Amino acid sequence: MSDLFHQRLALLSTDAHRALLSQGRRGIERETLRVDATGELALTPHPIALGAALTHPTITTDYSESLLEFITPAEHDIADALTELDASHRYFYAVNNDELLWSESMPCHLPDEATIPIAWYGTSHIGMLKHVYRRGLALRYGKPMQCIAGIHYNFSLSESIWPLLQAAEHTPGTATEYQSESYIALIRNFRRYSWLLMYLFGASPALASDFLRGKPHQLDVLSDDTLYLPHATSLRMSDLGYQNDAQAGLIPPYNDLASYMQNLVQAVKQPFPDYVALGTRRDGEWMQISTNVLQIENEYYSTIRPKRVINSGERPVEALCARGVQYIEVRCLDVDPFEAMGLNLDTGRFMDAFLLFCALDDSPLTSASEGHENTANFADTVKQGRLPGLTLQRDGLPVRLQDWGLELLDRIDAVVTLLDAQRDDGAHRASLDKQRAKLRDPDCTPSARVLDALRAHDNSFMKFSLVQSRAHATQFRARPLTPTQLDAYRELARHSIDEQSRMENEQSGSFDDFIEAYRARSLMPTGCD
């Protein structure tokens, strides 16, 4: 335990400050494909009863019309966020009798690319920008990759904690600067240790064989319709998932907010030959926002992002540079097919402990060699994390994954003690004990459990996933919302539709002018120079 970690824990464990730990925020974004009763991709438009995807605060779409995204408000307790996530799932089933929510991160059987519907957000300039961005994703990465689903975990500490730590450590600079750089330090530690999350929570060791569309691979054949790797934890996060050549060298250093943003802004401004060849328009229609490495900052497929709530039409880089980092978004969690919402409270409790550990522990600047080491450890874990005796690299030396993982859990134990003392229960320790069990016995991991379940379903990814999807639908339908809850969701849907109509009716100017103005705002704003 570093001296800094010990000092911060001691400060936050006092009666005067312990309550601050309950004042941070947690939120979940759960992606899931809509499928029909047979497990085929639903090609219907976004259900009107769910409201307008552009303006609804909690139910929207991601890449495709078929890829729902349920978003919870930011809550002090992850249990409250999960309660709201549960309610939004129950609302989906209350207004949709013909479709299911897919239980996996990796997609169901997909139709030909032309048939996969890109998400539509109406004719407002903002709505069209979102749609054109997704057209660009289809050109750059292919539609199947964009149908992969995940869980995003949003996390912040109380904004009162940062000035407390800054004063105690006599760190110069403004409060906003200290808070932002502290979140960047959290991200550095996260990248050092995120392989552990993939071992503990990775749940995509197999996929439907037609997902790869004939592309070369090194997967093993489990059955006629299923490919897998025997020791994989998360093929979703491997080089079979989110990847492309343009982003191959785009790994921000995460050593300060300014250099991180400069790296992304450069990618937004730098043309990429393959995209230049495609152009921005086809037959007079916009097909991508730009021909640069990234159309917008959010196109960078990172496992974690520094975030700030943005204003309408504002670019993420503008918000971060103007007002600093407000929270972080963890993007590497798989959908757990054994959980109806894709994750459970135990996972949330551990995530809180893990991320608080990353925030409080000493976080030295990352060198190029350590950055490559972190990337390699993550890649090895997602493809062979349960391989007996697997070793990772730590400071250039080999260390067994299980040994390092247990060592990390021992260090996180001090955070767990602090969190449980604040709550006056043992919820975080119970979750920590479950993670220890996974490290001691790889068969307890979700990825191992998925492979066991596949074997019980004729080694078929599709059969197992459909069984789980139907079971989850039954669970949600067995607990209908109250009339008051239904009315509240219906009102949200109506309001979102009205708001989209208002945006479309009140806008002025052409979309061409709007998108050109949006692109011109990609220069580094004041505050991140």
Contact assessment for residue 68 and residue 379, using Cβ atoms and an 8 Å cutoff? no
- How many of the other CB atoms lie within 10 Å of CB of 369? 11
Task: Work out the burial of residue 4: count CB atoms within 10 Å of its CB; fewer than 13 is exposed, 13-18 middle, 19 or more buried.
Answer: middle
The pLDDT assigned to 245 comes to 67
CA distance 230 to 450: 11
- Residue 60 has φ and ψ, to the nearest 5°, of -140, -165
Could you say which DSSP state residue 458 is in?
A: T
The pLDDT assigned to 264 comes to 87
The DSSP-derived string for 325-379 is --EEEEEEEPP-TTSTTSS-HHHHHHHHHHHHHHHHS--PPPPHHHHHHHHHHHH
CA distance 100 to 11: 48
Residue 529: band (very low, low, confident or very high) from pLDDT cuts 50, 70, 90? low
Contact assessment for residue 99 and residue 34, using Cβ atoms and an 8 Å cutoff? yes
- How many of the other CB atoms lie within 10 Å of CB of 454? 21
| Mean pLDDT within 303-328 | 89
Q: Helix %, strand %, coil % for the chain, to 5?
A: 50, 15, 35
Residue 214: band (very low, low, confident or very high) from pLDDT cuts 50, 70, 90? confident
Residue 147 has pLDDT above 90, yes or no: yes
Residue 522: band (very low, low, confident or very high) from pLDDT cuts 50, 70, 90? low
106 to 109, 240, 492: CA distances (angstroms)? 10, 11, 30
pLDDT tens string 22-51? 999 999 999 999 999 999 999 999 999 999
Q: Which domains does the chain show, CATH number per domain?
A: 3-520 (3.30.590.20)
Q: Which tokens belong to 241?
A: 């998932």
CA distance 154 to 306: 10
Residue 524 has pLDDT above 80, yes or no: no
| Mean pLDDT within 199-222 | 94
The pLDDT assigned to 5 comes to 96
The pLDDT assigned to 315 comes to 83
The pLDDT assigned to 423 comes to 85
Residue 464 has pLDDT above 80, yes or no: yes
Task: Work out the burial of residue 529: count CB atoms within 10 Å of its CB; fewer than 13 is exposed, 13-18 middle, 19 or more buried.
Answer: exposed
Could you say which DSSP state residue 522 is in?
A: T
pLDDT tens string 163-178? 999 999 999 999 999 9
pLDDT tens string 477-513? 999 999 999 999 999 999 999 999 999 999 999 999 9
Contact assessment for residue 58 and residue 488, using Cβ atoms and an 8 Å cutoff? no
Q: Is 290 helix (H, G, I), strand (E, B) or coil?
A: coil
Residue 526 has pLDDT above 70, yes or no: no
Residue 242 has pLDDT above 60, yes or no: no
Contact assessment for residue 44 and residue 35, using Cβ atoms and an 8 Å cutoff? no
Q: Is 156 helix (H, G, I), strand (E, B) or coil?
A: strand
Instruction: Choose the most confident range, by mean pLDDT, from 215-219, 244-248, 285-289.
Output: 285-289
| Mean pLDDT within 390-408 | 98
Report the chain's mean pLDDT, rounded to a whole number: 94
**Opening angle at CA 161, ends 156 and 165, nearest 5:** 125
| Mean pLDDT within 387-399 | 97
pLDDT tens string 176-199? 999 999 999 999 999 999 999 999
CA 207 to chain centre: 19
